[in-house]
Each structure stands twice: as C-alpha cells, then as structure tokens.
Structure 1
C-alpha cells in the first residue's frame, strides 16, 4: 500500500523543483520522485526532506 504523501504539494507551495529540493535535502532527485509517488523511505530520509521543507515529518503525510 502506498502512503499519501504531501511532499509534492509542500514542495510546490514553496516554489521548489524536485531538483532544488533534492539539493537542499542532500538527497538525489530519484529519491524525491520515489517519495512523491508514495514509496516507503527511511525515517532519516523523511527527516531530511522535512528539514528542507521546514515542516515536521508528520506533516509530510495526509492524516488518516
């Protein structure tokens, strides 16, 4: 089951491209693409994205 991620929405709200988010978070673009499509990621990876987007890790996902 895929998670509903808000990463793409948050990224777009902040005016960032996938490439720019990858750069800020220290991850590669492919990782950002996988996260945005809802694939699983380590907490460390999610934390890197959350810090780059200036949100809490929990805010990266739609609450169920």
Structure 2
C-alpha cells in the first residue's frame, strides 16, 4: 500500500491529529488512519473525508489501476 501523503499533508497543514480529522469527517479514527495509510476506502468514506478537508473525493481513487501497457491485438 502506498501512503496518501497528500492527505497527511492536508491534515498537518491544519494542525489536526488523526483523531480530530476523523471526528471532523464523522468517521472512526481507525478508518481515517487506514485511509492515510493507503487502504482502500469506500466512496462514502472518501466523500466524508473530502468534505472535512474541502478537497475532491476522487483523489482517493487515483492511481489504483495498474498502468501496464495492453498487448497488441
């Protein structure tokens, strides 16, 4: 798993703990921690965190596809 450094940076720029960030998003701290650590999150969780940080929830789903080239037909 690749840590979501952009999310950690957002939280740190606001001087928040993971506990406080989770509280603002209305989710469990453990769920928030997993999101920072790169675990997959559901759309609703991504939207809650994005709302708390005023960012685009689709950021949670970028770069999850393997970027291998397709074989020619």
Max Rg structure: 2
Q: Is the 8 Å Cα contact of residues 22 and 32 (structure 1) preserved in structure 2?
A: yes
- TM (normalized to structure 1)? 0.81
Aligned to 1:24: 24
Stretches of structure 2 lacking an aligned partner (at least 5 in a row): 64-73
Task: Please report how far the alpha carbon of residue 60 of structure 1 lies from its aligned counterpart in structure 2 after TM superposition.
Answer: 5.1
**Conserved? CA contact 2:46–2:58, under 8 Å:** no
> What is the number of residues matched between the two proteins?
62
Aligned to 1:34: 34
Q: For residue 3 of structure 1, report the CA deviation from its aligned partner.
A: 4.8
Q: Give, in angstroms, the shift of residue 24 of structure 1.
A: 0.6
Deviation (angstroms), 1:9:
1.2
Q: Which has the higher contact order (CA 8 A, sep 6+)?
A: 1
Once superposed, what is the RMSD of the aligned Cα atoms?
1.9
TM-score by length of 2: 0.72
| 2:68 aligned residue | none
